[in-house]
Amino acid sequence: MTEQSIPVFAIVGHPNEGKSSVVSTLTENDRIGISPFPGETIRNERFSLKIDQQTIIQFVDTPGFQNPSRTLSWFQSSGLTGVEAVSAFREAHASSPAFDHDCELLEPLSRGAGILFVADASRPVSQSDREEMEILRLIGNPRMAILNPKSDRERFLDDWKNAFRQTFNAIRSFDACKANFENRIDLLEALKSIEQDWSPQLEYAIKRLREERERKTWLCVDIACELLERSLGLKLSKLTSRESDAKKAQSELEMKYRERLASIEQQSWNRLLSEFGHSKLSLSAPENELLSEDLFSDQTWQALGLTRKQLAIAAAGLGAGVGAGLDLALGGIAFGVFTATAAATVAGAALFKGKELARMKIKRIPLGSYKVRVGPNRNEQFPYILLDRFLMFHRAVAKRSHARQDREARLDDEQAKQGVCSQWSSDRRSLYARVFKAMRSERGDSLEKLRNDFRKLLFDSLNEEPST
């Protein structure tokens, strides 16, 4: 795609209507200066929507209109229209500081940029808004109106729509602070209708955006796999010369083990934030729930991971698999006793021994020293909680608009209750249980056999909307 054929859209409107927020969301760029105070943007800034270093659409964030009445008067009295009028206006007012912002915002329009007129639909339509719309109508570039409501107030919505109908080729509602990926795609789809010539480029941009989204999701699958593998396989050990030191080292090692688990999880979250372009966001989950002493309190068990019953069933499924192997080996003469016994044993273990986070051992080794070892993780519930938290985190990050200005966010209790593992089908839970077992075992070949199925399943899980 050549630079000339890249569609360019100027985001214009009255000051403080959320123009920069719209650009920020559309370009997935959280570094754009956004302020609740009018006058943040004083110069045009071009932001490109890039995929693989290739610009596919360009948006120009502009300052707000400062002199709509006088600008319109000039346009009307000049008798000029179109790009010619814009150039003449800019030339006539180039030396007037009062028209600095107006000249600046009209600059991309003089080069034929498409117009995205942003208005806060939660307030009434004013005479200034009508004047601004009339200026844009006289300029005549392809244009679309974007209703970006700053609050839930809807009583002025019809007034806005009526006002827009007379001037714009298309009208869209787009809440810059709540818009997700699909909303962005919808907006780009709608842009195709304002100028037919841009349709192929926009079509291409939408296709590339969808591909990029899929690539990101697969990357998240890899991040999740790595998180689970590293967490479940984590082992720490320490050598001491005396048994009393070994006891002390045991508690230190346990603390270190928990810290390492938290660090592995944080690293995966940071990678998610970076992939989705949230460079300034600090998103945290309730820390102590995962690794604090009361991790396996009833409350936590109810909120994340599987329920006790689901966990027992999943574990029983695994045990039954082993027992069935023995039954088969004996040619069925045990009448399935091994299957039943193994299933019951494993299920019981999952229920009653599940509260330990990791296996802890002090082993006397030759030459009179002691080896303290923590890990690998043996808790049945742990990977489900870890995965649930990852899915929650992913959902929050992937859906989060880049226009939001709260730099610190927290997955609150409400979100924590939206755990997805417990809502899975038994088949899916069974596959997950097998994968987790394979991850814990030292044999890499069993995990490799399951990896593809697991990745596909995880991909589906990442794309699923939570059922509320």
Partner 1 sequence: MPEPSQTSSEPSAYATEDSWSIEDLIDFEYAARLEARQDEAEIQQRDKGVRERLKARPTSLKRNRVLLKHWLQKIREDSFPKNTKAGSFFTSSFSFVSKACAFVSVGLGAVLAASLLRYDGIQAVNVSAYIGLFIILQLALALLSTLLVLLPSKSGNRLNRFLGISSLLTIALRLFSYLSKAIESKLKGKHRNALEELEGSLESLARQHARLMRWLAFSAIQRWALAFNCGVLVATLAIIAFSDRAFGWQTTLDLAPEFVYQAIRASSFPWSWAFGEGTGFPSLADIEGSRIVLKDGMRALRSDALVSWWSYLCLGVISYGLIPRLAFAIFGQRQSRLVLRSHSFDDATASAIANRIRGLNIGFESDCEAKREISHDANSQGEIESPRSVKGRTLCLAVGDFKVDSIQSRIASNLHVPLENVEMHRFDSLSDLHRSDSIEQMLDDFRNIVLLHPAWLPPIEETKETISLLRSHSNADTLITLLLAGMPAADEYEIPTPESLNAWRSFVRKQGDPYLAMQELAP
Determine which residue in the list 43, 111, 242, 361 makes contact with partner 1, applying CB under 8 A. Answer: 43
Q: In sequence order, what E strands does 104-235 have?
A: 114-119, 143-147, 170-173
Q: Residues near 295 by Cβ (< 8 Å), separated by ≥ 6? A: 289, 357, 385
Nearer to partner 1 (CB atom), residue 53 or residue 127: 127
- Distance separating alpha carbons of residues 29 and 8, to the nearest angstrom: 17
Nearest to 462 by CA among 213, 282, 230: 213
Determine which residue in the list 9, 99, 276, 432 makes contact with partner 1, applying CB under 8 A. Answer: 99
Sole residue written with tokens 């915002």: 105
Determine which residue in the list 9, 47, 59, 65 makes contact with partner 1, applying CB under 8 A. Answer: 65
Site for partner 1 in 79-98 (CB under 8 A): 98
Q: Residues near 366 by Cβ (< 8 Å), separated by ≥ 6? A: none
Residue 434: CB atoms within 10 Å? 20
CA 181 to chain centre: 9
Task: Please give the single-letter amino acid code of residue 161.
Answer: K
| In the complex, least distance from residue 442 CB atom to partner 1, rounded to whole angstroms | 55
| In the complex, least distance from residue 66 CB atom to partner 1, rounded to whole angstroms | 4
Tokens of 388: 């649930």
Determine which residue in the list 7, 13, 68, 319 makes contact with partner 1, applying CB under 8 A. Answer: 68
Binding segment toward partner 1, per CB under 8 A, in 22-30, 64-72, 228-236, 408-416: 64-72
Site for partner 1 in 145-164 (CB under 8 A): 153
| In the complex, least distance from residue 123 CB atom to partner 1, rounded to whole angstroms | 5
Binding segment toward partner 1, per CB under 8 A, in 29-37, 257-265, 282-290, 399-407: 29-37
The Cα angle at residue 35 between residues 31 and 40, in degrees rounded to 5: 90
Distances (CA, A) of 9 to 54, 106, 342, 395: 17, 12, 65, 29
Nearer to partner 1 (CB atom), residue 96 or residue 237: 96
H or E stretch including 131? helix 127-139
Q: Residues near 383 by Cβ (< 8 Å), separated by ≥ 6? A: 228, 231, 232, 377, 432, 436, 439
- Distance separating alpha carbons of residues 31 and 326, to the nearest angstrom: 61
- Distance separating alpha carbons of residues 326 and 303, to the nearest angstrom: 37
- Distance separating alpha carbons of residues 313 and 426, to the nearest angstrom: 9
Determine which residue in the list 5, 42, 210, 215 makes contact with partner 1, applying CB under 8 A. Answer: 42
| In the complex, least distance from residue 19 CB atom to partner 1, rounded to whole angstroms | 13
Binding segment toward partner 1, per CB under 8 A, in 58-66, 214-222, 238-246, 430-438: 58-66
Site for partner 1 in 103-142 (CB under 8 A): 123-124, 126-128, 131
Nearer to partner 1 (CB atom), residue 128 or residue 193: 128
| In the complex, least distance from residue 97 CB atom to partner 1, rounded to whole angstroms | 9
Binding segment toward partner 1, per CB under 8 A, in 34-42, 103-111, 182-190, 260-268: 34-42
Determine which residue in the list 2, 3, 36, 152 makes contact with partner 1, applying CB under 8 A. Answer: 36
Side-chain-facing half-sphere of 105: CA atoms under 13 Å:
30
Binding segment toward partner 1, per CB under 8 A, in 40-48, 210-218, 355-363, 427-435: 40-48
Q: What is the chain's alpha carbon radius of gyration, rounded to the nearest angstrom? A: 30
Side-chain-facing half-sphere of 306: CA atoms under 13 Å:
25
Binding segment toward partner 1, per CB under 8 A, in 68-76, 201-209, 381-389, 422-430: 68-76
Binding segment toward partner 1, per CB under 8 A, in 11-19, 50-58, 336-344, 349-357: 11-19
| In the complex, least distance from residue 291 CB atom to partner 1, rounded to whole angstroms | 38
User: Does the footprint of partner 1 cover residue 101 (CB under 8 A)?
Assistant: yes
- Contacts with partner 1 by CB under 8 A: the residue count is 32
Nearer to partner 1 (CB atom), residue 66 or residue 231: 66
Nearer to partner 1 (CB atom), residue 17 or residue 28: 17
- Distance separating alpha carbons of residues 120 and 379, to the nearest angstrom: 52
| In the complex, least distance from residue 90 CB atom to partner 1, rounded to whole angstroms | 16
Kindly tell me the sign of the dihedral angle through the C-alpha atoms of 462, 465, 467, 468: positive
Which residues of the chain form contacts with partner 1 (CB under 8 A)? 14-16, 33, 35-43, 64-70, 72-73, 98-99, 101, 123-124, 126-128, 131, 153
